[in-house]
Structure 1
Amino acid sequence: MNSELDTYARQGFGADLPLKPPYGLLIVDFVNGFADPAVFGGGNIPAAIDRTVGLLRAARERGWAVAHSRIVYADDGADHNIFSLKVPAMLTLKEREHRSAIVPELAPAAGELVVRKTVPSAFFGTPLTQWLTQRGVQTVLVAGAVTSGCVRASVVDAMSWGFRPVVLSDCVGDRAIAPHDASLFDMAQKYAAVMKRDEALALAADGGRQG
């Protein structure tokens, strides 16, 4: 890994991305189906959900804009697309299905946006960009599942729309650890700041300065 890091550093990747207020929190697809190893879950997702409970509490206490995302397909599958063609079981995520509901411990509060989507990114084809922009958000802290899929896609789009993404490495999870670790490395080199929850919360409280 050291030789790989040297290669990335030599080519100019991995620069610091300072946090800049105002802040927002995006929780990607922490729904019952992704919490259940028998459906779409497994790996370190349960631990990431546990860590996100405290993160969400802190974001609310600080008055941050908070958004959640869910994958929700039409009851008749009329919006069947390439994502569900590749992963047909995604079509089981309907509006009223238990597996598509946000886990109870992270249930949205009044005033928090809930984005429904049928593709990996929480930004693509949704009002999330405008909603965050209207609230002046500059830095988006990201939690959710899965690291290598919908989290990564949302982070790339956040960066593309001009937000500063901060991936909270202990608040994102994947059904397999190898793609989780690889995606954290990749995002840290190209698209986002990657750090643990408590470090990010401390930096945000200190104005975003990094040592």
Structure 2
Amino acid sequence: MKSALLLLDLQNEMVDPKGKVGAHGLADIVQQRGVLDNAAKALIAAREHDIAVIHVRLGFRADYKDCLSVADRIAGLKNNKAAILGEWGSEFHPAVVPLDNELIVTKQCVNPFFNTGLLVWLMQNGIRRLYLGGVATHLVVESTARFADDAGFAPLVIEDICAAPNPALHAHFIENIAPAVGKVISTEEFLTSASAV
């Protein structure tokens, strides 16, 4: 089964302490959990073993006219002028910078399949297994895993490449939701499976 590694929202705004989202505690949890170190290891392994790599980020126009959601969290993004395309916050963290030949998906919502070409690209490239990790666990990771399952892909959540601002939200998804829509693995398990491809 052909595979891809999806790294979700590992951008400066979210994972750097200077990021407008990361500064409110998420970056600290990302660091405590070793998310970026684990993501970097997975990225190296995927590249070495010819597993497709897809980098997903949140990015908006400066006026946010491309943002459809009316959820309360969006007001916070707008007030802080967060995740604006072309600015530092929408760029990927240095630990996980894409190569020129790797797909970058920019989304304006939680689900990376919504209003992007991700689904078509995966289908055109014959990919059926999706390894995924990123921030936040209860938002983009959960949404991606649920949609991937519905669309007939096999999602494998790399638990130690995920983090949420509230550890209880992370644990709820990992323990209760992820096993119902796919599988939960570790970075070490991903490295082992990548080398067996």
Kept in 2: contact 1:115–1:126 (CA 8 A): yes
Aligned to 2:115: 125
- The letter for the 2-side match of 1:57 is I
Superposed displacement of residue 80, structure 1: 3.1
Which of 42, 46, 49 pairs up with 1:62? Answer: 49
One-letter code of the match for 1:198? E
Unaligned runs of 5+ in 2: none
Does the CA-based 8 Å contact 1:65-1:132 persist in structure 2? no
TM-score under structure 2 length normalisation? 0.87
Would the alpha carbon gap of residues 120 and 83 (structure 1) be closer, same or farther in structure 2, given more than 3 Å must change?
farther
Question: Would you say 1:33 and 2:13 are equivalent positions?
Answer: yes
SS where residue 114 of structure 1 aligns?
Answer: strand
What does the per-residue CA deviation read over 1:166-202, in whole Å, with 9 as the maximum and x for residues that have no partner? 0001111112211111111123331110011111332
Match of 1:67, SS state, is strand
2:159 equivalent to 1:172: no
Which residue is equivalent to 2:138?
Answer: 148
Deviation at 1:37, TM superposition (A): 4.4
Q: Which residues of 2 match residues 1-150 of structure 1 at below 5 A?
A: 21-37=1-17, 39-41=20-22, 42=26, 43-46=28-31, 47-83=34-70, 85-91=72-78, 92-150=82-140
Shift of 1:50: 1.4
TM-score, scaled to structure 1? 0.82
SS in 2 for 1:185: helix
Of structures 1 and 2, the larger Rg is shown by 1
Q: Distance in 2 between matches of 1:83 and 1:114?
A: 25
Structure (1/2) with the larger helix percentage: 2
| Structure 1 alignment gaps of length 5 or more | 1-20
CA distance in structure 2 between the partners assigned to 1:203 and 1:103 by the alignment: 25
Cα separation, 1, equivalents of 2:17 and 2:39: 18
Q: Is 2:179 the counterpart of 1:189? A: yes
2:21 is paired with a residue of what secondary structure? Answer: coil
Percent sequence identity over matched residues?
A: 27
Structure 1's 190 and 164: CA in aligned 2 closer, same or farther, altered over 3 A? same
Q: Which whole-Å CA distance do the structure 1 matches of 2:164 and 2:136 have between them?
A: 5
